[in-house]
Structure 1
Amino acid sequence: MKNAFLKCLLFWILFVAIIHGFGSLTALAPPSWSTCVRLLHALLVTLATFYLIRIFLKSEKRTYKDIELVWNRNTPVKFLLGVLIGTAIFALVLLVLINFTGLQLTRNANGVNWQVWFTSLLIIIPFAFIEELAFRSYTLLKLDKAYGLFWAQIGVAISFALYHIAGGWNWQVAFYGPGAWAFVFGLAAILSRGIAVPTGIHVALNFLQVVAGMKPGNASLWTLHLKQNTAAASTTANQVGVGIQITILVAGILVTYFVVQKKKRFIEIPV
């Protein structure tokens, strides 16, 4: 069991080294090449991560198929299902923000740069896939087998948050954001037997934040802003935002617990 934790820890350390290593190389390119360079970065990291997983699997005499990391005819359908789930979750979060804070959603007065819009989507998809590949395929299943799903989810959530901190995120934002959503992505991976669904959810959530103006950039169709930009309104919006993230975290932990209990009851039924 200890060996499983150490293996996953080593895997994540190597993954971070890969993503930052290739990032340093691509940073040498001229700014005018930024889109092509980021896509090249994503491609190189994807290939390197697949190879890294292969090395770890080979040491255990296993294959990609053993961890459901294979393409089949259901993969696109599962990805689209994930996109629909992610869209529904985002719509619910947006509804809560608008109804319980002074935030409102309005059309982007500056217009939409459709080239930037398409480029954002083109970049978000591979990087969401890379993160699911690193955190919800080999490592999640490895920890699940060694410690059970509940502790596997905890371990992956913490590592996912620390990975974002290594990328420059504030620790509080990393744990309330990616750390909380890790439970959603992990449950999607386990219940759907693969990473196509969580990748779809991940893509939808990230891209819709861009579209709604919740992330910097020129690809927003709308802007989410306060009706009255006062200190009190800003504080309320932040508190509700944090409350949503905590709710997602608690819900993820509880659903994980109930899934574990259901699996136990199913196993205990005499045949």
Structure 2
Amino acid sequence: MKLYPIESGNFKLDGGAMFGVVPKTLWSRTNPADDKNLIDMAARCLLIEDGNRLTLIDTGMGNKQSEKFFGYYSMWGDHSIDKSLAKYGFSRDDITDVFLTHLHFDHVGGAIQWNKDRTGYETAFKNAHFWTNDNHWEWATKPNAREKASFLTENIMPMQESGQLKFIERPKGDFKESSEMGFGIFFADGHTEKQMLPHINYMDKTFVFMADLLPTAGHIPLPYVMGYDTRPLLTLDEKAKFLNTAADKEYYLVLEHDAHNEIITVQHTEKGVRLKEVLKWDDILM
């Protein structure tokens, strides 16, 4: 098995929305804002090469939305999925599986693209299965008013219409060893219904792709919960359980949205679980 970081693009979001009730004087210490109160964000995906299987975890925003749409997110940098895949000798057509932590636009938008004559949409990975779970699919296709703007029909329905959509079987608890994917999955409901966090055993370490349970290193303290979360009190419980386990078992946490910190580890302290070490993929892959 090999792991590769796939950078799909950088953007910015309102710092207050990203940290909920936490005052700016506190969160700006780790995530400084610009003069519009926007903080740097990444859409960092992860590629798993395992035998003949090539699995991409999340896809970023993609590029099919309007200029007005992208204007809301202050895109910056020159990353793209195609450039990142090519860096490691791959292309979109090589991808056999796309695992989606959840179906918000910044995680699934790159899964779908315009067709050639721009009359409709098609999957951006023509040879891949697209993996979600039935609870989250139901949640996303019949969205509540709070999340409706994040679940875009054009990002979701073409996966089903193509016949490429697959569902992960859910466990009775919040964790399962997935026979479908070949890695463990932690299910979390605070941010959105049945978000899925992959646990990947690699080089005698456990790497966890954090998606939106821990978007940046600045979100480690328990009360630092995004305003976007649908069930913030549940997020508190899920973070506490996960971070304690991560410190106990020395997990390597892959941060999807932190533009400046790629991988971190955490440790127990008198103040609770806190940051231990910041690593780059080059440190791991060298």
TM superposition score category, shorter chain reference? under 0.3
TM-score (normalizing by structure 2): 0.26
Say which structure is richer in helix: 1
Say which structure is richer in strand: 2
Higher RCO (CA < 8 A, seq sep 6+): 1
